[in-house]
Amino acid sequence: MCVDLVISGNVRPEFNQVEKIVCDYAIELGGSANIFVSQMAKLGERVGVVGYVGRDEFGEFAFQELQALGVDTTFVRRHPSAKTGLGVALTEPDDRAMLTYLER
Q: pLDDT for 22-61, tens place per residue?
A: 999 999 999 999 999 999 999 999 999 999 999 999 999 9
Q: Where are the domains of the chain?
A: 2-13+22-101
Cα angle 25-31-37, degrees, rounded to a multiple of 5: 110
CA-to-CA distance for 25 and 67, rounded, in angstroms?
23
CA-to-CA distance for 35 and 43, rounded, in angstroms?
13
| pTM of the full structure | 0.87
Q: For domain 2-13+22-101, give its CATH number from 1.10.390.10, 1.10.3720.10, 3.30.1360.120, 3.40.1190.30.
A: 3.40.1190.30
Per DSSP, the residues of 70-101 read T-EEEEEEEESSPPPEEEEEEEETTEEEEEEE
Query: Is the per-residue pLDDT at 10 higher than 90?
Result: no
